[in-house]
């Protein structure tokens, strides 16, 4: 299991990893996409910036991170990253304004984001090309 310790909280809010991995029921295989969010905000030869919105109780699409990236929490809440087999990789309490960095040693990684909160979570992810 990879250790995730690359947070920077620029808002004065709180960001906490609540628990480590546990196993969920096995899910049927799903093809991972390199689309990291719901829409591209900006793309050029240096970065690709994605907006990722996940409604309350919903799970976003399974996606593959091949390059270093950072994510900025626009609208926070509680959630989990889930692996292709349904295993919960991490659980989060995301504060608005929090920044999470994922470097070369943490990619590639395939996961989906599950919103366990009662409100929509919005994250903007910048993929370094």
How sure is the predictor about 19, in pLDDT bands with cuts at 50, 70 and 90? Answer: very low
Q: Is the pLDDT of residue 12 over 90?
A: no
106 falls within a domain: yes
- Number of domains, the chain: 1
How sure is the predictor about 36, in pLDDT bands with cuts at 50, 70 and 90? Answer: confident
Residue with the larger pLDDT of the pair 31 and 121 = 121
User: What CATH number has the domain bearing residue 103?
Assistant: 2.60.120.10
The whole-model pTM stands at 0.74
- CA distance from start to end of the chain: 26
pLDDT in tens, 54-75: 999 999 999 999 999 999 999 9
Residue 31: the pLDDT is: 65
Q: Domain range for residue 44?
A: 7-128
Backbone angles phi, psi at 58, to 5 degrees: -95, 165
- Give the residue among 4, 20, 28 at the shortest CA–CA distance from 86: 28
Backbone angles phi, psi at 109, to 5 degrees: -150, 140
């Amino acid at each position: 299991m990879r250790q995730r310790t690359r947070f920077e909280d620029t808002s004065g809010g709180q960001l906490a990893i609540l628990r480590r991995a546990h196993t969920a029921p096995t899910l049927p295989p799903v093809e991972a996409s390199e689309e990291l969010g719901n829409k591209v905000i900006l793309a050029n030869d240096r970065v690709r910036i994605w907006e990722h919105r996940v409604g309350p109780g919903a799970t976003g699409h399974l996606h593959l991170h091949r390059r270093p990236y950072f994510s900025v929490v626009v609208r926070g809440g509680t959630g989990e990253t889930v692996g292709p087999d349904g295993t919960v990789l991490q659980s989060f309490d995301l504060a608005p304004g929090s920044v999470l960095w994922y470097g070369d040693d943490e990619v590639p990684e395939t996961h989906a984001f599950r919103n366990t909160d009662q409100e929509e979570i919005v994250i903007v992810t910048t993929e370094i090309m």
